[in-house]
Chain A
Amino acid sequence: EAQVTQNPRYLITVTGKKLTVTCSQNMNHEYMSWYRQDPGLGLRQIYYSMNVEVTDKGDVPEGYKVSRKEKRNFPLILESPSPNQTSLYFCASSLTGASNEQFFGPGTRLTVL
């Protein structure tokens, strides 16, 4: 089944403890992206990747890192999480960076205490 998977689905952590949220797609998509979703703010783009080894900042990149070493994986790294990073995170992929149809993962609910 063609899909985007994220792990973990739920995570509670403490301030300053490094964490990684994984994202993987099995559709051979070139483009991948991370969003965070907060009440009343819609989805805000954190980082995106047009292809392997190419990453760019979205609208809210502060406090996050990403890497794209392989086409299928696009992990989101929080080096030193803070409570304001408590949010619902979505990974998405699309065939190319010019594609409007993005396929989203199921989301990761992160709570930073």
Chain B
Amino acid sequence: GESVGLHLPTLSVQEGDNSIINCAYSNSASDYFIWYKQESGKGPQFIIDIRSNMDKRQGQRVTVLLNKTVKHLSLQIAATQPGDSAVYFCAERGTDSWGKLQFGAGTQVVVTP
């Protein structure tokens, strides 16, 4: 499989603990914010999204928080498992161009036993 050589921020988390992955975005006009997970050797996989008129959204074991005042997005993973080891990307989409998606640089999450 394929993966990208990494010079990414790394978050080391002990199995069972909660993880918090942060993302700063730049475009105040973005309408949707999306989190993707990329496991080694695979393409990114959708996790969860949040619209700009919300400040919190929950999924299965994940919560996304949006703070528009400081242009900050976070992904919280509850009870982190070894299968959560991956690179996590935030992405944003504006209303002026539905088809365009802009990704952040990513955060490497390493789950230790």
| B is bound to A | yes
Residues of A bordering B, CB below 8 Å: 4, 9, 31, 33, 35, 37-45, 48-50, 56, 58-59, 88, 90, 92, 97-98, 100-109
Q: Interface extent on B, as a size class?
A: 20 to 34
Q: How far is the CA of A13 from the CA of B94 in the complex (A)?
A: 36
Question: What total count of A-B pairs have CB within 8 Å?
Answer: 75
Are B103 and A109 touching (Cβ within 8 A)?
no
Known contacts A45-B100, A50-B98, A100-B49; is-contact A39 B6 (Cβ 8 Å)? yes
Q: How far is the CA of A49 from the CA of B100 in the complex (A)?
A: 10
Residue of A nearest to B105 (CB): A42
> Which A residues are in CB contact (< 8 Å) with B46?
100-103
Query: Does B43 make an interface contact (CB < 8 A)?
Result: yes
Residue of B nearest to A109 (CB): B2
Given contacts A100-B34, A106-B42, A107-B2, 14 further A-B contacts (CB under 8 A): A31-B99, A33-B99, A35-B103, A39-B5, A45-B100, A48-B99, A56-B100, A59-B100, A88-B4, A92-B43, A97-B98, A102-B46, A106-B1, A107-B1
